[in-house]
């Protein structure tokens, strides 16, 4: 336990927050610092085929043991960046061993958390209430590196295993420059999904929307019948969206419109949304409703007052994963054989695996032992991380029984 804990604490000391506004790849240079560290660590534990490219992707390969060269190649993927929902700099973790079930104060902040009851007696890592923790997805990285080291030091026969650590997943750009040919896997699993027993086989369909409202500014002392306040039009636009179809009022398979940020003045105001739904048909209706809302306001205030730019972000990977049921069967068995009961989910979010699946690399998502990501309340259960190492070892072993015909063309 101490080794994976040490690894995780080392990784979260790196500030790797991505930034969608830079329009660079990677979006922040600081992600390279963790990438360089991981490259050197993989070399130090015995891997020889390791590469860090100029886009901040770390790739590595474990060769197959003798006689298993024809086994389909397994891929393992985690991302290095952290969400911009809370600061990822100067993380001050709290380590609570043998957690007794009582609420945990986060440093001197006003925040107190009570982890899941079934984690009682385990080791919990929290923040101090001033930053996120970075378990999403540095716990996933720690799990993969620990599993790689364990595999290298074992006598267990296995096929080749490809490893990749990606930048910019949190801003939806984690696969923009992913080199599938260099990675060389036939099938893969991301390790980016919450509780250790989670197996995520579907995601939201996702789109982004940028709404620009244009007004007319004039001196407020003589503005009667002249001024059109873009900020108020933006407020009107947002008020016309379904009030309960937002993240704070939805769960399960319910989709939403989510206003992520806004800015503006009298002359021009901007609204930025993400649109989510597990149903591609319903997501298209959400897009259409945004456009119709703009049309209504343009009829009211004049053509060109409101414009909506829509951008597809990712699609529900269930559309692909359902064609490869053996990936779900293998992972489910691996979870059971690690002593857990698998929980198969359509996740209310997305992963690198969603886009990779549509790029030709079927890629369900495993858990990493973490909870309440993207905020100061985030925490990790160390024993769950160890369970996921066991799950990966099981999957690697089970891949040796797959027929050669399952190699991807």
Per-state percent for the chain, helix, strand, coil, to nearest 5: 35, 25, 45
Per the CB < 8 A criterion, the answer to whether 162 and 60 are in contact is: yes
Residue with tokens 């209430």: 129
Is the backbone of residue 263 left (phi > 0), alpha (psi -120 to 50) or beta?
beta
Two structure tokens written together for 152: 């290298």
Cα→Cα distances 81→36, 67, 190, 326, Å = 14, 37, 14, 30
Tell me the C-alpha distance between 109 and 288, whole Å.
Answer: 43
Tell me the C-alpha distance between 320 and 363, whole Å.
Answer: 9
Residue 87's nearest CA partner among 382, 378, 380 is 378
Helices then strands, counting H and E runs in the chain, come out as 10, 18
Q: What is the DSSP string of 195-228?
A: STTEEEEE--EEEEEEEEEE-B---GGG-TTT-B
Residue 16's nearest CA partner among 192, 125, 136 is 136
- Kindly list the catalytic residues: 81, 169
């Amino acid at each position: 336990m101490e080794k994976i804990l040490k690894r995780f604490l080392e990784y979260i000391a790196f500030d790797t927050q991505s930034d969608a506004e830079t329009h660079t790849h990677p979006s922040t240079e600081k992600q390279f610092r963790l990438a360089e560290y991981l490259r050197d660590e993989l070399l130090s534990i015995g891997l020889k085929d390791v590469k860090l490219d100029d886009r901040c992707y770390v790739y590595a390969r474990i060769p197959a043991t003798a006689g298993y060269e024809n086994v389909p190649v397994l891929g393992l993927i985690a991302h290095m960046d952290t969400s911009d929902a809370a600061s990822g700099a100067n993380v001050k973790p709290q380590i609570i061993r043998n957690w007794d079930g009582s609420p945990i104060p986060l440093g001197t902040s006003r925040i107190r958390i009570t982890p899941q009851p079934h984690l009682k007696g385990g080791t919990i890592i929290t923040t101090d209430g001033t930053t996120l923790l970075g378990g999403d997805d540095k716990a996933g990285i720690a799990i993969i590196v620990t599993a790689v080291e364990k595999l290298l030091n074992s006598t267990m026969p296995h096929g080749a295993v490809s490893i990749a650590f990606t930048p910019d997943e949190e801003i939806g750009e984690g696969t923009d420059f992913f080199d599938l040919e260099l990675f060389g896997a036939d099938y893969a699993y991301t390790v980016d999904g919450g509780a250790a027993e989670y197996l995520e086989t579907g995601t939201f369909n996702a789109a982004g929307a940028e709404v620009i409202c244009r007004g007319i500014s004039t001196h407020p002392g003589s503005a009667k019948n002249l001024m059109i306040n873009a900020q108020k039009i933006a407020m009107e636009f947002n008020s016309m969206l379904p009030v309960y179809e937002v993240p704070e009022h939805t769960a399960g398979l319910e989709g939403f419109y989510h206003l992520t940020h806004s800015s503006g003045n009298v002359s021009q105001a901007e609204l930025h949304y993400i649109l989510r739904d597990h149903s591609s048909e319903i997501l298209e209706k959400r897009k259409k409703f945004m456009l119709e809302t703009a049309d209504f306001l343009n009829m009211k205030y004049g053509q060109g007052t409101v414009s909506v730019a829509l951008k597809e972000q990712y699609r529900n990977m269930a559309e692909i994963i359902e064609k490869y049921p053996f990936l779900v069967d293998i992972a489910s068995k691996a979870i059971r054989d690690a002593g857990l009961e698998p929980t198969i989910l359509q996740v209310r979010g997305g992963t690198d695996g969603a886009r990779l699946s549509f790029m030709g690399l079927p890629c369900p998502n495993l858990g990493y032992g973490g909870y309440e990501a993207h905020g100061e309340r985030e925490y990790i259960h160390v024993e769950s991380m160890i369970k996921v190492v066991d799950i990966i070892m099981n999957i690697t072993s089970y891949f040796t029984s797959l027929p050669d015909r399952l190699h991807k063309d």
